[in-house]
Chains A and B, each alone.
Chain A
Amino acid sequence: MKLKNAFSHIILIIVSLLSVFPFLWLISTSLKGAGENIFAYPPNFIPADFTFENYTGVWARVNFLRYFFNSAVVALFTVILNLIFSSMAAYPLARMDFKGKKIAFFATLATIMVPFQAIMLPVYLIILKFNLIDSVGAVQGYLGLILPFAVNAFGIFLMRQAFLSIPKEMEEAAIVDGCNSWQIFFKVLMPMVKPTLAILAIFTFIGSWGEFLWPSIVLNDDKMFTLPVGINNLQGMFSSNWRYIAAGSIISIIPIIIFFLSLQKFFISGENEGAVKG
């Protein structure tokens, strides 16, 4: 048993190190001053010419606060709209009988099967047609980033599963008390699916925060860049100044790391994992 545990520990330590090493190496590079060769053989893991200058330098040249703000606005509204619209659509699909239910159900299912990448071009043309683009204005720019992802079939099915697991008696009792469908939905059912809402919120947030393809298609204006687009742009701005690129990359991941560490249970417990990935 001891031997077996030792074996597990060794493997897990190696894999854990491999998982974080690329980030640690970025941190190490970002703390090396101009006096130190970052291409030195053998590589120095602990900076010899230790400095925070790369951080202050990149912070002064790149509008990180604006990128954070843009990413936060987009992610927050994407999450809120998904929570509301997915649960609303999920409720009748789980709990009511109506004409066209089958069509609504399979139409939703169909949207899971078609990848966004296959329809992104017409989505872009539609966004242009509605003028939801950053060159028109900030609000329009945000809307163009948010609306195509404001509802997600994975979310609808996730919420539907949650509603299905609530005993029917709860609703019946509410009907006896004279509640209408809206009251049942908002006052009885929604509070009961809070754990699922939390999972939907967290995974939608992570997805939106890290999204790169769509923002890189629609964004033109540097002031409207979300973090991933802004960070990718560092490569062009500082061509081969890897100290700055590394420092900028590390600055950009601090918020999501804090978010992850404070909510780690939701991520690694494995409940409903995979339900939200698009």
Chain B
Amino acid sequence: MPYLFLVPAFVLLGIFFFLPFLQTIFLSFSDYSSSLYNPVFAGLGNYSAVLKDPVFMKVLGNTFLYLVIAVPFLTVFPLFLAVLINRKLRAINLYKVLIYLPVVVSIVVCSIAFKWLYADQGILNYLLSRLHISPVAWLTDTRFALVSVALVTIWKGIGYYMVIYLAALMSVPKELYEACEIDGANLWQKHLTVTIPHLMPTIALVSTISAISAMKVFAEIYVMTKGGPLNSSKTIVYYIYERAFENLDLGIASAMAVILLVIVLLLSCINIFCFERDKYRL
């Protein structure tokens, strides 16, 4: 009886998850360079080719840079906002709705909106000109492209993580704050001694979730820069996409996919076994 309930889900997971999972690993050991239809066993050839590929190294570096830019901001700033918003203020709901709005709008439209802000004669460069700073080629200068794209990811994520923090804040016992007030603690001390320690698991969770989604970033790059200029804004998923679907380098793309998989797997394991243990306990 229990098996009948499991069948539909497991048939689908089997076809669209376990099978492709195994095939990714299989493909990563296959050489498709001579023929797309008769691959030969490549051993670790694809992996050594990937590790020797300067573009892959650049892309991997970009991906970690993306993480370093996005994760700290998305971990700290939404917490600050959640603390601000977590009390009785006028118009509080309006603030929440407005800040959450970018979360629900398709990433494609968000990226287009930013592309327009970043235009050479766009509004951001106008603001710079008012500050007597010369215009910046936000998306076409190798120094700025990655940061400009990461800014969209950050902007779109703030509301999402703020709401996660808000939910966690509701579970902080009110008595603890009251005890603090009796002790004469100021606002800062209250948050440092009560809020932050209480929210530590959530803070850790947000940092790993945002790291995992930063590892998977694709649409922002596809819509705004296509990885350019000179690969300066290319990250790992975009490069896998390019090698797999544009160059048809199935073996190489799969070896990179396995590397991506291992990194995300490690992050997810931290998540599941440290911070969300209760949810995933048998």
Q: Which residues of A contact B (CB under 8 A)?
A: 4-5, 8-9, 11-13, 15-20, 22-23, 25-26, 29, 39, 41-43, 84-86, 88-89, 91-93, 96, 98, 101-102, 104-105, 107-109, 111-115, 117-126, 147-148, 150-151, 153, 156-157, 161, 181, 185, 206, 209-210, 212-213, 216-217, 227-229, 231-232, 234-235, 242, 245-246, 249, 252-253, 256-257, 259-261, 264, 267-271, 273-274, 277
Which residues from chain B contact A268 at a C-beta distance below 8 Å?
93, 96-97, 100, 163, 166
Which residues from chain A contact B282 at a C-beta distance below 8 Å?
101-102, 105
The answer on a CB contact under 8 Å between B240 and A117 is yes
Which residues from chain A contact B133 at a C-beta distance below 8 Å?
none
What is the bound-complex CA distance between A88 and B9, given in angstroms?
8
Q: Which residues of B contact A (CB under 8 A)?
A: 1-3, 5-6, 8-10, 12-13, 15-21, 23-24, 27, 81, 84-85, 87, 89-91, 93-110, 112-114, 116-117, 119, 121-123, 126, 129, 155, 158-160, 163-164, 166-167, 170, 187, 205, 209, 212-213, 215-216, 218-219, 222-223, 237, 240-241, 244-245, 250, 253-254, 257-258, 260-261, 264-265, 268-269, 272, 279-280, 282
* 5 chain-A/chain-B pairs, Cβ below 8 angstroms: A8-B87, A122-B24, A123-B20, A268-B100, A270-B163
Residue in B closest to A45 when the chains form the complex, CB atoms: B123
What is the bound-complex CA distance between A242 and B114, given in angstroms?
12
Q: A113-B269, A126-B16, A277-B209 are known contacts; what are 9 more A-B pairs with Cβ within 8 Å?
A: A22-B102, A89-B8, A92-B3, A115-B264, A119-B17, A121-B254, A122-B20, A213-B241, A232-B108
Count contacts between A and B, CB distance < 8 Å.
Answer: 283
A151 and B9 contact, Cβ closer than 8 Å, known pairs A114-B21, A209-B106, A253-B105: yes
Instruction: For residue B135, give the distance in angstroms from its CB to the closest CB of chain A.
Output: 11
The answer on a CB contact under 8 Å between A8 and B89 is yes
The answer on a CB contact under 8 Å between A274 and B114 is no
The answer on a CB contact under 8 Å between A25 and B121 is no
Residue in A closest to B90 when the chains form the complex, CB atoms: A9
A123 and B167 contact, Cβ closer than 8 Å, known pairs A26-B116, A253-B109: no
What is the bound-complex CA distance between A253 and B174, given in angstroms?
40
What is the bound-complex CA distance between A17 and B94, given in angstroms?
11
The answer on a CB contact under 8 Å between A107 and B2 is no
The answer on a CB contact under 8 Å between B116 and A29 is yes
The answer on a CB contact under 8 Å between B109 and A212 is no
A228 and B12 contact, Cβ closer than 8 Å, known pairs A19-B99, A122-B23: no
The answer on a CB contact under 8 Å between A212 and B107 is yes
The answer on a CB contact under 8 Å between A8 and B84 is yes
Which residues from chain B contact A124 at a C-beta distance below 8 Å?
245
The answer on a CB contact under 8 Å between A151 and B222 is no
The answer on a CB contact under 8 Å between A41 and B126 is yes
